[in-house]
Amino acid sequence: MRLKLLFSSLLLSLLSQCACAEPVVVVNARNGVSQLSQDEVINIFLGRYRRFPGGAAAIPIDQPENNPLRAEFYRKLVNKDLNQINAYWSRLIFSGKTSPPKQAANSAAAIQLMLSNPGGISYLERDQVDSRFRIVMEFQP
């Protein structure tokens, strides 16, 4: 049973790897920020410090749970899977001091949220990026 599970998950990861699109961190094109370091992206997305270097508030937006891009993004950003990210947030949630990023219902909703919030920051597949967005960080291959 467990072997089967392991096998299917391996297969799954292989498929997703194959189908993987490369996530890039983007902000609203109207936002003045042009470049962010990976640490700055981590601080924003994991609730430590949610401001852009210019001091403007940053509003991180997560892709829906089922979007493979989300898992790929966190893996590349802090080398954690989504379960771990969820466990992290579960420890912080109850103190109420900070909160996880806003979660879009689907990919289009995520883009919508980005466009509606000048301080919005999210991650997209490279081919999804258009003039409305600006890429502020790319993961090293």
Residue 47 CB, nearest distance to other proteins (Å)? 6
Residue 80 CB, nearest distance to other proteins (Å)? 7
Beta bridge partner(s), residue 30: none
Q: Residue 23 or residue 111: which is nearer to other proteins going by CB?
A: 23
| Contact criterion met (CB below 8 Å) for 119 and 52 | yes
15: nearest Cα among 79, 82, 74, 68: 68
Q: Residue 76 or residue 134: which is nearer to other proteins going by CB?
A: 76
Quick check: helix, strand or coil at residue 78?
Answer: helix
Q: Residue 96 or residue 141: which is nearer to other proteins going by CB?
A: 96
The single residue listed with the structure tokens 């997305």 is 45
Residue 41 CB, nearest distance to other proteins (Å)? 11
Residues lying near other proteins in the complex (CB under 8 A):
42, 46-48, 78-80, 88, 91-92, 95-98
Residue 98 CB, nearest distance to other proteins (Å)? 6
Q: Residue 41 or residue 69: which is nearer to other proteins going by CB?
A: 41
